[in-house]
Amino acid sequence: MQKYQYKVIDTRDVETGGIFKGRKREDVETYLNKLGADGWELVNVDFRELEGGLEFAGIMKKLR
């Protein structure tokens, strides 16, 4: 039987260009692509683009 490891992610996990700079779509994509390269698969996400700002929360999984 396969066993999985799970990880909860959200907007706060994405690095920005500085304390006063917001997160851009490209920042989120870079973050998710790095997790994917590390074997994580996004299985659920709630993504919102509000007044130029991005917010998301999601669940990742990978084989143990």
Assign 26 a pLDDT band (cuts: 50, 70, 90).
confident
Contact at 8 Å (CB) between 18 and 62? Answer: no
Assign 16 a pLDDT band (cuts: 50, 70, 90).
confident
pLDDT at res. 48 = 87
> For the chain, what are the domain ranges?
4-63
CA–CA dist 21, 4 (Å, integer)? 35
Query: For the residues 16-45, what does the mean pLDDT come to?
Result: 86
Cβ-proximal residues to 14 (8 Å cutoff; 6+ apart), any chain: 23, 27, 28, 31
Out of 3.30.70, 3.30.1490, 3.40.1340, 3.30.450, which CATH number does the structure's domain 4-63 have? Answer: 3.30.70
SS3 52: coil
Contact at 8 Å (CB) between 6 and 35? Answer: no
SS3 10: strand
